[in-house]
Structure 1
């Protein structure tokens, strides 16, 4: 790569930063010299040639790899380009000041600014998010949302080897700790120089508010305790959820459950997830109502949904949270052996909830999704977990996002489904294919349901059938099934 190309890429990056409002024109020379230093260049000549973003950033990584500054791996390139973008991202205090000024206009104006900034500074990598595949599938529970996660790059074997050799520093303690802001990263911990976290008060305590770099849905945000403290679902969680939602009423906020199998991937640091998106569960209709003595002012119902969802709606937040706390306390200790519900076995607790808070038509609304992490000999990964016959599509834990009706499926499915389509159209024996044999039973069953399967509709049928599998996944995770026996047990 010529020096002129590097200069042109650098000019393009600076133009992009100014155009997006990341860089003030008065800071351009300072920023250019900073980046030249990072690239090991002493001279500079302005170029007319321009590259789009992120191509200009990729070219600078190419140059760094060419010159031996970094290894040409995904992790090393990510560390390097994040460092460069960190020099162009406004300082945390500037971002906070601008956010608060926008908040004075409206909460939505503030989050619009913050979300756009998080994308413009490449913390949220738009080019990678665009690779994700998304569709909706009609099921007996209404439309469910499906995504195949392709935005997380595959790990390079060289990065894996380097990570094994590197001794963990223990700083930051986890990916959610506030010390991540500005952190240079390692091959085993992502760089965060372009991360900005908004300080917010949640129920009288200092928390942080940021966006997820993977954006599984619109404005996917993370709200985390400023202290590294474990996840716990208790009465106070409901107050915390609504404390945030009151400040940002256009967002929902929910929490993963606090037990293994039914919980999230990071149980060691208290955090919630929210955003500006209407999930299938929120759209689910009332199935039947119920009353709780002394809480006539709280509307209570069970919604028609594959998981067991108790929906509470009230004008008074404190009354709603009091009832939620009462339900949680009751559920923690509730057992019904006939329904395979055990509060604990051998001293291990099993019952918890996945709560989701939102405002609806000026009223407070809380969904409590009943969860249980019991394991059995037949289902060692969890009785209320995707069962083995569904693992060819989804075997990971069902966390908050899936609970609400959005499947986050592994990237392997993109190629597998493309290969499956071709194999079925050619009439190949799937059981003789090492990769596709796990899909054989499923494919044979849906082919019998779709005699019209052909080259024109194959992809649509496969996507529809994946949606049906996800509906079954949620049914597995539901403690009380949507059957006569299941509903009778729920009403006991």
Structure 2
């Protein structure tokens, strides 16, 4: 059967345009070598067997390798082996880049579609795992928020965890985003990347690297990373790069996490951006009110109707937007208004920064500037403008770029925990986690009579959406109330 599996994988790879017919024998020999197979015959035809997709065939090959003692039945080893098999089917980076830019001459969209399909078909983007995520939309006054319960990252087995602890520490690659990950085999505690490719993109006379997130949260979820391993920094060059990128790829947005702890994303040690071919609720949100920016007559300014504090700038020339955005960033970094708890500094420690997002709409460039502050207090030790304690049972983690735009990435524990909440509301036997109990009692008291077995899941999902909306409201520096509106107007006036 291993010969059959090898042929199935080759045939699926040809159908997915990973390889050509002329590559068949070469690729077969490479895969046979990895599997320690010394002869090759296929009995019957593929039409007589169940032809599965690449991830399923690959999984069976990895199981075979474990059974034959080629690799140990340990998570990291299996990931490394699967990545090596798929690397046999992918061209070298120079060829991938050449093909990408040949297609780019036809259209930027055609180029990114090619690279996205390559990244999926090579199993670098593991779509079979991503399909495990629970995804739905929650309707709010600000539009439809995206809710994702993240089930795509499998839990590691105890052997893998133990091996990670024992593994010799190395600084190569320095982090998960470094360019040295391209083609890197992987090790205990560092993911397999043999089948990983990057596209070289010129931004401000520097080479940056376009790749896709291996666990995409939305369509064509990409990462654009610096060649140099350096800390993330929001400055005028950040705005220039974002706008330059969307000019090159006008069907994509590109944004950055903020550059301070608490309000930043998970990896602040490597300068990078995230983007993709997707329109979030924040991008669809309307203007709440507009303003003119002194000194920038060609730039249209508005405050967006969104639970977080967002300034949207529009202009036909990206240089104008960069200058206006830089002006706002410089003002905001030193802006305090104690009446709404905004303080820019504590001694030498800065608190104000921006989460920027760029996109292109027809002839106009847009730059969204989300105002952030990472100050803490005794009442809110994790952050004043961070999810507050009463929503931690749903979302406690930092609110990064993806959440800012309206997509909740929620922990896997909620899959089973929410079922217990549903059972509790229905009056069934339930094992509700302590941190959900107050919420579950409130929901049962308020809506119990109106909820049935047929609609309880939809009802709880809707309530989770409301919790995420609260998360975004907590993270907004100027609240959407009378005092917040007055505070926002004072800042705009200061510009």
Q: TM-score range by the shorter chain?
A: over 0.9
Partner of 1:226: 227
Matches within 5 A, 1:432-471: 433=431, 436-450=433-447, 451-471=449-469
| Change over 3 Å in CA distance of 1:423–1:76 after alignment to 2 | farther
Contact 1:13 1:57 in 2 (8 A): yes
Partner of 1:307: 308
Contact 2:424 2:440 in 1 (8 A): no
Contact 1:102 1:110 in 2 (8 A): yes
Tell me the distance in 2 between the aligned counterparts of 1:71 and 1:396.
34
Matches within 5 A, 1:183-194: 183-194=184-195
Matches within 5 A, 1:139-288: 139-288=140-289
Out of 21, 24, 42, the residue aligned to residue 25 of structure 1 is 21
Contact 1:357 1:366 in 2 (8 A): yes
> 417-426 vs 202-211, which deviates more?
417-426
Shift of 1:69: 2.1
**Partner SS, residue 369 of structure 1:** strand
Tell me the distance in 1 between the aligned counterparts of 2:344 and 2:56.
54
Partner of 2:3: 7
**Partner SS, residue 292 of structure 2:** coil
Contact 2:425 2:441 in 1 (8 A): no
Matches within 5 A, 1:53-452: 53=53, 54-428=55-429, 433=431, 436-450=433-447, 451-452=449-450
**Partner SS, residue 88 of structure 2:** helix
C-alpha deviations, 1:254-278, integer Å up to 9, x for none?
A: 0000000100111111100000000
Unaligned runs of 5+ in 1: none
Tell me the distance in 2 between the aligned counterparts of 1:460 and 1:95.
44
Tell me the distance in 1 between the aligned counterparts of 2:195 and 2:43.
27
Contact 1:356 1:366 in 2 (8 A): yes
> 393-402 vs 281-290, which deviates more?
281-290
| Change over 3 Å in CA distance of 1:449–1:300 after alignment to 2 | farther
Unaligned runs of 5+ in 2: 491-495
Contact 2:142 2:306 in 1 (8 A): yes
> 64-73 vs 198-207, which deviates more?
64-73
Tell me the distance in 1 between the aligned counterparts of 2:72 and 2:154.
16
Partner of 1:490: 488
Contact 2:138 2:145 in 1 (8 A): yes
Tell me the distance in 2 between the aligned counterparts of 1:243 and 1:72.
46
Contact 1:162 1:187 in 2 (8 A): yes
Partner of 1:39: 35
Contact 1:74 1:153 in 2 (8 A): no
Tell me the distance in 1 between the aligned counterparts of 2:355 and 2:445.
37
Partner of 2:493: none
Shift of 1:294: 1.5
C-alpha deviations, 1:112-162, integer Å up to 9, x for none?
A: 111011000000111111111111111222211101111111121211100
> 52-61 vs 320-329, which deviates more?
52-61
- The alignment's C-alpha RMSD in Å is 1.2
**Partner SS, residue 88 of structure 1:** coil
Contact 1:331 1:351 in 2 (8 A): yes
Contact 2:183 2:194 in 1 (8 A): yes
Tell me the distance in 1 between the aligned counterparts of 2:316 and 2:65.
58
Shift of 1:427: 4.2
Contact 2:250 2:360 in 1 (8 A): yes
Partner of 1:473: 471
Is 1:52 the counterpart of 2:49? The answer is: no
Aligned length: 484
> 26-35 vs 397-406, which deviates more?
26-35
Tell me the distance in 2 between the aligned counterparts of 1:269 and 1:164.
24
C-alpha deviations, 1:316-371, integer Å up to 9, x for none?
A: 21111111100000000011111111111131100000000000132010000000
Tell me the distance in 1 between the aligned counterparts of 2:159 and 2:198.
31
**Partner SS, residue 408 of structure 1:** strand
Shift of 1:411: 0.9
Tell me the distance in 2 between the aligned counterparts of 1:142 and 1:12.
45
Shift of 1:468: 0.1
Tell me the distance in 2 between the aligned counterparts of 1:255 and 1:138.
26
Tell me the distance in 2 between the aligned counterparts of 1:75 and 1:141.
42
Shift of 1:253: 0.2
C-alpha deviations, 1:170-209, integer Å up to 9, x for none?
A: 1111111111111000121111111110000012211000
Shift of 1:488: 0.8
Contact 2:424 2:444 in 1 (8 A): no
Shift of 1:84: 0.5
Contact 2:136 2:146 in 1 (8 A): yes
Tell me the distance in 2 between the aligned counterparts of 1:379 and 1:21.
53
> 18-27 vs 217-226, which deviates more?
18-27
